[in-house]
Structure 1
Amino acid sequence: MSKELNRFLGYVIVLLCALGYLFYRYLYLNPVTDFHKEILVTAAIAILSTCLIGIYETIKCQGKYFWTSVKCSLFIPNKETYVSLSYLLRIKLPGSERYFLVKGAKVDQYQPVGGVYKTVGNKNIYKEWEAHPKSDVNNPDDLRFFVKAKYIPEIIRWFKSHRDRETDVWREFYEELLETNILSQKNFKTIRTEFLSTQENILSKQNRFNNEQYHTLIYDIFQLELTPDQFQELEKLFKDNTFTEKYAFVTKDEIEKECFNNHQLKIGQHTKFTI
């Protein structure tokens, strides 16, 4: 249990004690001595005020993740949870309203460029959170792993801090589009991206993997800002072929339907986060 939640529970217990005393004092205690009137009642009210402020500050500090912290610490601390912390890149062709997707390497579907972040430096999630990797053990730095639910609040806080992890999209962009020769390194030596939003799916009940009971998925969404040369290259790809074995240009409607080409080709469900 986190220090913040311990402090919150401490405030609640002391607050209930103060309320219990005041309830007893005004409803049952008779006669009432000056000690109760002048000392204990004043102390109880002061304690009550302090606890209310402490509870408010604790909830404010946790923000929208407060109830997640309570749930993870008190109700499902040892439940197996799959965690994936990743980014997706929206590549939209101006004028045509087409979204550029690539063929998944592991799943037979088209999806946005992107993938899971990696840790950097000396961050050891396996030691700190007792995590164990997904089946892809050849990439131990990937932020895709299984962990007990009690660590989820700490993981979210760490991820939001941007410490000891990747923070940009270049690695997957290079691997998925330049190494595969879909795009030229001449026009895409560098890229400029804009952060759009973060999409979250915290502690949803799932059983896709053995012994897994919950999913926690966080996606950072970025948009690629195209230079004139980059735009022209993408436009030429679109005019040559709307889709190939490597890539596809699809519409918003097709993304929402999760398929295209007369329902024959699948679009990844998470692609909806980029529209």
Structure 2
Amino acid sequence: MNLKGKISFIIGIAGFIACIFITATDVKSTIFKIALGFVLGGAIDLIVFLIENKKHWNLLKTRIFKANQPVRVTVAYLFRIEMNGRYVLIKRHKNDRVGYQPIGGAFKYFKEENRELFDKLGVEPCDHVPRDEKTDHDLRIRLKRRKNLIDFIKWFESRKNREMDPWREFYEELVEPGLLQEDIFKHVKYVFICKHTEGILKSPVYPIDEFRYAEIYELRPETDAQKKAIANLISHTEQIVFATPDEIRKGATNDGRTILPHTFKILPK
């Protein structure tokens, strides 16, 4: 709801209140009609606002509750790689949390192209996880005022001035270290499955509330060589596990290796 609509609604309510204390019938009637017009104008503006934000109704409370409080935002992509009823997970290489998770990582944004918009939205890098050359410009950010979260998500979903292809993390986690052969995986086929959001939650790790947004992609191996290479990942017992849906839900493999909590997002709903 924009400022004009808010002012219109407030003026209308003030007019209704004034009518309580006015005794002259003709004056009271005139003020009531004017107030009703202002309230209807504000109501129309509210309806338009709700329609425009219908995809983000679950986040509208950020405009009301703790609107000026900060929130940590992570926007990532995760690969669903399934082989014979089990899902390929890789050992997390960062030391803040130890365990296995889907192949994937944070999207990146283009710093210079987004400078003006991010300044307006109050976007700043989040350093709860130390940054380096590989994590620079990751969409692990801090919004100074969570009331701007909807506008930030609208920017992301517009696909402007940001990374769009999930190939980078697939390459960095599986091809570059030699877990998959580069000549076999010069190209990969994948399909977008869904997006997953959890709302704003209290972080179990960081001293700030979190909003986590993930896009899920399913790998579709195209050749027998690719299918065989994926199946052979099971031989890399330290870096890779093949986990069942039940193991993912309980947060550990049957041999006791930890599966990180966000992994459930790759499971079919």
For Structure 1 versus Structure 2, the TM-score category normalised by the shorter chain is 0.7 to 0.9
Go from structure 1 to structure 2 and tell me whether the alpha carbon gap of 1:231 and 1:11 turns closer, same or farther (over 3 Å shift): farther
**More moved, 247-256 vs 181-190:** 181-190
The whole-number CA distance in structure 1 between the counterparts of 2:249 and 2:190 is 24
In 1, Cα distance between equivalents of 2:258 and 2:193: 25
Q: SS of the residue aligned with 1:123?
A: helix
Distance across 2 between alignment mates of 1:257 and 1:271: 11
Q: Are the counterparts in 2 of residues 133 and 140 from structure 1 also a CA contact under 8 Å?
A: no
Q: Which moved more, 1:61-70 or 1:108-117?
A: 61-70
2:82 to 89, 92, 112: 92
**TM-score, normalization: structure 1?**
0.82
Offset, 1:146 = 2.6
The answer to whether the Cα contact below 8 Å between 1:101 and 1:113 also exists between their aligned partners in 2 is yes
2:247·2:253 contact (CA, 8 Å) conserved in 1?
A: yes
User: Per-residue deviation at 1:247?
Assistant: 1.0
Report if the CA contact (8 A) 1:86-1:117 is conserved: yes
1:193-216, Cα deviation, whole Å (9 max, x unpaired):
21111111332123633xx33111
Tell me the secondary structure at the aligned position of residue 105 of structure 1: coil
Q: Which amino acid is 2:199 matched to?
A: I
Matches within 5 A, 1:1-275: 4-21=1-18, 24=20, 29-33=22-26, 35-37=27-29, 39-63=30-54, 64=57, 65-71=59-65, 75-77=66-68, 79-93=69-83, 96-106=84-94, 107-120=97-110, 122-124=113-115, 127-128=119-120, 129=122, 131-134=124-127, 135-138=130-133, 139-150=135-146, 151-206=148-203, 208-209=205-206, 212-229=207-224, 230-238=226-234, 241=235, 244-262=237-255, 264-275=256-267
What is the TM-score normalised by the length of structure 2?
Answer: 0.83
2:187 is paired with a residue whose SS is: coil
Partner secondary structure for residue 49 of structure 1:
helix
Q: Distance in 1 between matches of 2:137 and 2:64?
A: 29
Is the 1:19–1:48 Cα contact (8 Å) retained in structure 2?
A: no
One-letter identity of the residue aligned with 2:163: E
- Provide the C-alpha distance between the structure 2 equivalents of 1:265 and 1:44, rounded to a whole number of angstroms: 65
Say what the alpha-carbon RMSD is for the aligned residues. Answer: 2.4
Q: State how far apart, in whole Å, the 1-side matches of 2:18 and 2:53 are.
A: 30
- Alpha-carbon distance, 1:68 to partner: 1.8
Q: 1:31 to 1:147 in 2, by over 3 A?
A: closer
Q: CA distance change for structure 1 residues 166 and 13 in 2, over 3 Å: closer, same or farther?
A: same
User: Percent identity of the aligned residues?
Assistant: 24
Deviations 1:84-116 (A, max 9, x none): 1111111111xx211111111114211101000
Residue type matched to 1:98 in 2? Answer: R
How many residues align? The count is 254
Q: Give the C-alpha shift of residue 21 in structure 1.
A: 4.3
Contact 2:76-2:215 within 8 A present in 1 as well: yes
The amino acid across from 2:223 in the alignment is P
CA change 1:76–1:70 in 2 (3 A) is: closer
Partner Cα distance (2:259, 2:209) in 1: 24
SS in 1 for 2:229: helix
3-state SS of 1:131 partner: strand
What letter matches 1:97 in structure 2?
G
Q: State the 1:82 CA deviation.
A: 1.8
Distance of 1:11 and 1:46 partners within structure 2: 9
Structure 2 unmatched ranges of 5 or more: none
